[in-house]
């Protein structure tokens, strides 16, 4: 039976794994593999095959029972979910060491493309890092609106973050990835996500410490 394209609510954990699956599928594709089974994806990603099937089933029925999934078509179906079918365009604020590392990383890998970067340092403005042009932070609103960018990565000192966040929200940004683990004030319709290496290391310390003390 054909079902409506998306089930009611899709768990965040599933969405996170979808990113992982995409990586795996691309890897299979590059190896020339045409057909795979849920078990193959599961092994490669370190999850259970039932999880893979369940995750995929949230979006529709893509497999053939008794056979498996067609790598190519599964990939393009997943790409279709984000409606991008190409690069996912994002902006980056803060072209310091971390910021430029991310730009470099995005040129080498995967699906995300940083199409505009911003900094307040005049020495950096108007230069290019790879294909990414660096603008003044004063131009954030203009450029973001011009290119209809919806996602921004923030790689600036914590003290400046909220000020920039306000500008981004005003410019129409709908999701912010902050590289500093500090609370952000945003409207309800703006997604916020944190990535912080040192926080994660601290978390690992907690985990290790508790292992012995239980």
Among 2, 83, 85, 148, binds a copy of itself (CB under 8 A): 83
Binding flags for a copy of itself, 105-124, as an x/- string (CB under 8 A)? xx--xxxx------------
Q: What is the nearest approach in angstroms of DNA to the Cβ of residue 54?
A: 4
Residue 196 has phi, psi (to 5 degrees) of -140, 110
Residues in 149-208 at the binding interface with a copy of itself, rule: CB under 8 A: 150-151, 153, 174-175, 177, 179, 181-183, 191, 193, 195-208
Task: Tell me which stretch binds a copy of itself (CB under 8 A): 49-57, 60-68, 81-89, 162-170.
Answer: 81-89
Q: What is the nearest approach in angstroms of a copy of itself to the Cβ of residue 65?
A: 26
Residue 13 has phi, psi (to 5 degrees) of -60, -40
Q: How far is CA 131 from CA 62, 99, 134, 155, in A?
A: 36, 14, 10, 19
Task: Determine, following the binding rule CB under 8 A, whether residue 82 of this chain makes contact with a copy of itself.
Answer: yes
- Pick the closer one to a copy of itself by CB: 71 or 102: 102
- Pick the closer one to DNA by CB: 18 or 171: 18
- Pick the closer one to DNA by CB: 66 or 157: 66
Q: How far is CA 89 from CA 131, 153, 197, 212, in A?
A: 13, 11, 23, 45
Half-sphere exposure of residue 72: CA atoms within 13 angstroms, side-chain side: 3
Task: Determine, following the binding rule CB under 7 A, whether residue 49 of this chain makes contact with DNA.
Answer: yes
Q: What is the nearest approach in angstroms of DNA to the Cβ of residue 93?
A: 29
Q: Which residues face 192 on adjacent strands?
A: 176
Cα–Cα distance for residue pair 183/43, rounded to 1 Å: 37
CB 147 within 8 A of CB 171: no
């Amino acid at each position: 039976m054909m079902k409506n394209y998306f089930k009611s609510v899709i768990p965040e954990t599933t969405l996170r794994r979808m990113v992982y699956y995409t990586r795996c599928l691309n890897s299979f594709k590059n190896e020339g593999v045409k057909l795979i089974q849920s078990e193959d994806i599961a092994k490669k990603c370190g999850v259970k095959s039932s999880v893979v099937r369940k995750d995929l089933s949230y979006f529709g029925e893509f497999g053939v029972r008794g056979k498996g999934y067609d790598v190519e078509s599964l990939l393009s179906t997943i790409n279709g979910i984000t409606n991008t079918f190409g690069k996912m365009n994002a902006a980056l604020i803060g072209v310091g060491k971390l910021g430029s590392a991310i730009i470099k990383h995005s040129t080498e890998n995967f699906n995300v493309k940083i199409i505009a970067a911003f900094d307040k340092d005049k020495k950096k403005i108007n230069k290019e890092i790879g294909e990414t042009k660096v603008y003044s932070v004063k131009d954030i609103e203009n450029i973001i609106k011009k290119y209809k960018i919806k996602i921004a990565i923030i790689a600036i000192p914590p003290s400046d973050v909220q000020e920039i966040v306000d500008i981004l929200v005003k410019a129409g940004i709908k999701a912010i990835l902050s590289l500093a683990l500090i609370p952000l004030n945003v409207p309800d319709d703006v997604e916020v996500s944190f990535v912080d290496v040192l926080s994660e290391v601290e978390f690992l310390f907690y985990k290790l410490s508790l292992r012995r003390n239980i």
